[in-house]
Amino acid sequence: MSGAAATSGSASGAGGFRDDAPAPRIWGLFSRAGLITTSLLTLAFVGLYFRWFLTQGEMSSKKIEDWGHAFVIPLISGYVIWLRREAIARCPIRPFWPGLIPLLLGAYAYFFFLVGVPNHMLAGGAMLLTLFGAVACVGGAALLRHVFAPIAYLGFAVTISERIMTDVTFKLQIISSDGAFVLLSLLGAMFGFGTEISGNVLTVTTSTGVEHAMNVAEACSGIRMVVAFVALSGAVALIGCNEWWKRSALLLISVPVAVLMNVIRVTVLGVLTLKDPRLAEGQAHMLIGVLLLVPSLLLFMGVLWALNRVVKPEGAP
């Protein structure tokens, strides 16, 4: 009796399969079949949205000062996926057919915002919806869980429509003007120059009475700087932590940090006008904005360090 049971046990494995019978195979993303499938789907996706990519590249190139970070966003998303490559490689690929719903809906919305009601920003959102649907449909929910955040991060590369920029930018410019006026007034009291404000126009007067007017609308575009700084905090959140609440905290502080850095940017430009008004324009203007990304990055990393000290990451000693 025991011999029969042993024979039966050796003949059958877990799940009722015989040991000598081939187990059902599920191809992985980095297998030969997975790489071929991924390559073909990538070519199809790029071909479908080639016009959007071309337009996006032209817009970012013409407004490199405002949307230059759009070229870096895909690289950061790719790097995050590379960091998760081992988990992705172990992830079984099971088609999830309900993914066809966002896939088809995204494709339909893309053509609608391309031909029906042209809107580059909404067309970019439709493209990301298609990408989510394609990953879910072909790779399954398990794969989507690993790549959801990097794909969502690509949204920072989509340029914001001019209507939204116009409505929001002026309010941020007023905040930047008022904040810079306070700082310039404090500096002027110490170093002997005067500052006046009218709307979003700052006027810096030298000790000899020479006035230099600076239009904050021309010097700093608030909403564009906010987008760049939120994207920077998102990169720190994606790479530096896995807990959703820590990522949310970093994103929440990114907006006030961006506004603060914008105030500092306008203040620096105001001081530079005392030496040469041309320093508040062109390359010098853009260079100051780029340099302010460094202390902002250090600030975001410091906040992340503090959060990790308060609540240690999962798996940490």
pLDDT in tens, 215-228: 766 555 556 677 78
Q: Which amino acid is at 159?
A: T
260 Cβ neighbours under 8 A, 6+ residues apart: 179
- 77/66: higher pLDDT: 77
Report pLDDT for 16.
40
Report pLDDT for 313.
63
- 125/289: higher pLDDT: 125
3 state SS for the chain: CHHHHHHHHHHECHHHCECCCCCCCCCCCCCHHHHHHHHHHHHHHHHHCHHHHHHHHHHHHHCHHHHHHHHCHHHHHHHHHHHCHHHHHHCCCCCCHHHHHHHHHHHHHHHHHHHHCCCHHHHHHHHHHHHHHHHHHHHCHHHHHHHHHHHHHHHHHCCCCHHHHHHHHHHHHHHHHHHHHHHHHHHHHHHCCEEEEECCEEEEECCCCCEEEEEHHHHCCHHHHHHHHHHHHHHHHHHHCCCHHHHHHHHHHHHHHHHHHHHHHHHHHHHHHHHCHHHHCHHHHHHHHHHCHHHHHHHHHHHHHHHHHHCCCCCCC
**Regarding beta strands 194-198 and 201-205, do their DSSP bridges make them parallel or antiparallel, or are they unpaired?**
antiparallel
pLDDT in tens, 198-215: 877 788 888 777 787 777
Report pLDDT for 221.
54
Residue 103 — pLDDT band, cuts 50, 70, 90?
very high
Integer Cα distance of 309 and 297 in angstroms = 18
Integer Cα distance of 171 and 221 in angstroms = 10
Report pLDDT for 13.
41
Report pLDDT for 140.
87
Taking residues 162-173, report their average pLDDT: 72
Residue 55 — pLDDT band, cuts 50, 70, 90?
confident
pTM over 0.95: no
* Confidence check: pLDDT of 57 > 50: yes
* Confidence check: pLDDT of 66 > 70: no
pLDDT in tens, 11-39: 444 344 344 444 334 455 666 776 787 78
* Confidence check: pLDDT of 1 > 50: no
Report pLDDT for 18.
43
pLDDT in tens, 258-269: 888 888 888 888
Instruction: Give yes or no for a contact between 93 and 73, defined as CB atoms under 8 angstroms apart.
Output: no
Taking residues 127-140, report their average pLDDT: 92
- 236/173: higher pLDDT: 236
- Residue 297 C-alpha from the chain's centroid: 14
* Average pLDDT score, the chain: 79
Of 29-38, 109-118, 177-186, 230-239, the one with minimum mean pLDDT is 29-38
- 258/9: higher pLDDT: 258
